[in-house]
Structure 1
């Protein structure tokens, strides 16, 4: 599989190396002669020095025969233009643009992804924030999965004997349309949920949907097991911190940010009214003591300075913070992640580069049908299926789609957006759908979505 990458920075060169090891034929374009020379000496990939958004350069790189095009420079506009030019020159090309500025991720006025015809926007900072938010939003929960950057969440929950939902069918429950009950396990038997499925005490449910909608449904399934206030302190007003603040917008999260730059403090305070922003340096033990770090549930060091992150995590851990999370930016420290986690008592360590590779590989290497084994149970499977352009399901509303018995469509992924679809929603070419399927219906639904109608 031929993949062209533009940009040999830390993320670009790391992804280039990983894709090459996975069998991709990689061509890397870098405008800096120094950067191009470094990668050429260190990696077994084809390296070209020049402008990755130039049509002639892309033609020389073999864009006509490429399967993937990934632009990972530090400049968003270069990445968008490069992907647009590549799209004009390539055939059946999957394009990825690294995007840093939240402006291009806001689709309220202009859909920049559609405007520049880019298949996937990659935001390493957002990916890190999603990883950090998993533990904060659901400490100790089992089988928590996230799809489409945290937009779709999967949770397992048990029906409490005190739940008022016992004896009701799913049709009667008035469930939030942004979520689905996908699977029900009772007495060791798991089945795909149906509209007439009723709940009994002790049932294990696998629920899919918007995180807030899923959390609200959990309170109905497990009454009395309320989630208390979670106190979170972030060190650094970085893009990772900003993304994490958005993911923790629920009132039960009390978030404070410590930021040493006064101008950055002002920007954070104006962007997030009601957010507590402390101007100070968290490497100071005195400041951490004044901020009562010993009583917080989560302390997250997410500045761009790894040394500061490591020092503050050490301090926070020794002062008694319940959980400490660390962001590592530099490749020099990545080999020490496991050692840091053990020696420092850090609950989780994340790296923008590693998070980017993990996400990107899912898109570049994934097959048309992927079984999500971590969420599959016995004879019931959770499948992610790419809808073929020739499929009979394309342009059909879900209400008109004749899914086999024992099959439930629980999520629809389109570009960077994901949702729990309703009966009026249509399947479009290029969509990926998430399905809970009984083993007996597996092949029939795969044929429906992937083969010519």
Structure 2
């Protein structure tokens, strides 16, 4: 599979890194010579210095052979023009563009088949807001991803010392929570993702991924938290006044959450104040310890650092935590920073590039894929797919299927009902099936989905 990626920033770089590990034919284009050198020196891909909207550069990259074009620069206009030029020069089956301006991102007339014919538009700002809202919905969760149109969720939580689930096997856990439709699908322990079985036991400091009906996930995590830490937030403080902060503040206003936004630039503060109805906008900088104290950061249910500087975000989150904020969240661009941020004490880390990679993988994976989410250190993926009538796994008990090692069927959505499957469960045509697969099993899973779940 030949894939051209235009833009070697954090989104383009991380997509290229992920796909190059799977031995796909990747070509990365960027006008920034330093970024091109970084790609060439650290990744097993072809790197080209030039403009992704240039006909000659696209020809050099082999646009006529490309199966997928991903335009991921920081410029919406460049990304759209690149898709336009690529469509004129060759028939590229799939075109993906990163577009942040909501006026462009929602304009079907421009982006649709009659004009640019872009298959997937990724608005990383909106993806960030959606991710943050899901995380805020479930106190104690480190990450939350929706599947099956929100009916199924996967959430991760840390097994802190004293948590009653520590030491229990998954079989015991299933018995204790037999009234909830959920299942533990992955455990991150000692820098390794484990696809567990019934005999495996949870340990303190495990990062556990639980999949199931959305309401069941919330009830499960609430069952071992104190009553004060169970309710969704009513007070939130946001540091940084960029576009993500503005969109998030608007969403929180609609939910009735008391929101404060701190931004160092006075003109930006004025703009934010004009755009927001109830949120309080304050001028303050990185050294605003006194301001955080005056604005009662200790009373905040959540403190979210969303500046453009990821180092600053981590330090701000830690400062807010030491001052008493109940939950602190930091935005980072470099995915590799996440483990370090968690080790320092940040409760939740969100990464725009990682969110973009998840969306892009939806089009990279073979089979009828609806959604993809990457687990820690890219060691496993959660994949939502559709069972087709041509499959030879339908209408057979799961216990009779010879699934490749490292693959677990976590949930089935059938006619609006969430089913956590057992050995006797049967997949029917049209079911939405959510699976978890280790990275080592992805090639087998792709073949499995392509051959078994969909007729080609």
TM range (shorter): 0.5 to 0.7
Which residue does 1:445 correspond to in 2? 430
Work out whether residues 122 and 356 of structure 1, in 8 Å CA contact, stay in contact via their aligned partners in 2: yes
Tell whether 2:239 aligns with 1:239. Answer: no
Equivalent in the alignment of 1:74:
74
Equivalents in 2 of 1:361, 1:354: separation in Å? 11
- Structure 1 residue 94: deviation in Å? 1.3
Pairwise CA distance, 1:276: 1.5
Counterpart of 1:146? 146
- Tell me which residue corresponds to 2:125: 125
Contact 2:131 2:144 in 1 (8 A): no
Measure how far apart 1:385 and its partner are. 2.4
Q: Note closer, same or farther for the CA distance 1:67–1:136 as it changes in structure 2 (3 Å cut).
A: same
RMSD of aligned Cα (Å): 4.3
Matches within 5 A, 1:187-202: none
Matches within 5 A, 1:252-263: 252-263=256-267
Q: Does 1:338 align with 2:351?
A: no
8 Å contact 2:145–2:373 — kept in the other structure?
Answer: no
1:196 is matched with none
Displacement of 1:280 in angstroms is: 1.7
Number of the residue aligned with 2:351: 351
- Equivalence for 1:197: none
Seen in structure 2, the aligned counterparts of structure 1 residues 387 and 21 have a Cα distance that, compared at 3 Å, is: same
Instruction: State the secondary structure of the residue aligned to 2:146.
Output: strand
Look up the match of 1:202.
none
Q: Identify the residue that residue 393 of structure 2 maps to in structure 1.
A: none
Whether the aligned pair in 2 keeps the contact of 1:409 and 1:435 (CA below 8 Å) is no
C-alpha contact (below 8 Å) 1:234/1:302 kept by paired residues: yes
- Quote the Cα distance in structure 2 between the aligned partners of 1:234 and 1:281: 12
Give the TM-score, by structure 2 length: 0.64
Q: CA deviation at 1:62?
A: 1.7
Give the deviation of 1:241 after TM superposition: 1.4
**What is the deviation of 1:28?**
1.3
Q: Deviations over 1:343-378 (max 9, x none)?
A: 2x321112222332233223322532579999xxxx
The equivalent residue for 2:305 is 301
Shift of 1:140: 4.3
Q: Work out the CA distance in 1 between the residues paired with 2:69 and 2:343.
A: 38
Per the alignment, in what secondary structure is the counterpart of residue 248 of structure 1?
A: helix
Alpha carbons 2:388, 2:429 under 8 Å: kept: no
How far apart are residue 118 of structure 1 and its match? Answer: 0.8
Relative to structure 1, is the Cα distance of residues 207 and 440 closer, same or farther in structure 2, using a 3 angstrom cutoff? Answer: closer
Instruction: Give the counterpart of 1:251 among 251, 255, 259.
Output: 255
Q: Is the 8 A contact 2:305 2:316 kept in 1?
A: yes
Aligned length: 349
**How many angstroms does 1:256 deviate by?**
1.2
**In structure 1, C-alpha distance between the alignment counterparts of 2:52 and 2:337, rounded to whole Å:** 33
Structure-1 separation of matches of 2:239 and 2:142: 28
1:138-175 Cα shifts (integer Å, max 9, x gaps): 22479953259xx746369xxxxxxxxxxxxxxxxxxx
Task: Give the C-alpha shift of residue 250 in structure 1.
Answer: 3.6
Partner of 2:186: none
Gaps of 5+ in 1: 157-185, 192-204, 216-224, 375-381, 391-405, 412-433
Measured against aligned partners, the alpha-carbon deviations of 1:10-31 in whole angstroms (never above 9, x if no partner) come to 3222322221112210011223
How do 1:412-427 and structure 2 match up within 5 A? none
TM-superposed deviation, 1:133: 2.3
Give TM-score, length-normalised by structure 1: 0.64
Write the distance in 2 (CA, Å) between the matches of 1:237 and 1:70: 29
Where structure 2 has 5 or more consecutive residues not aligned to the other structure, the ranges are 155-176, 183-210, 219-227, 375-382, 391-411, 432-450
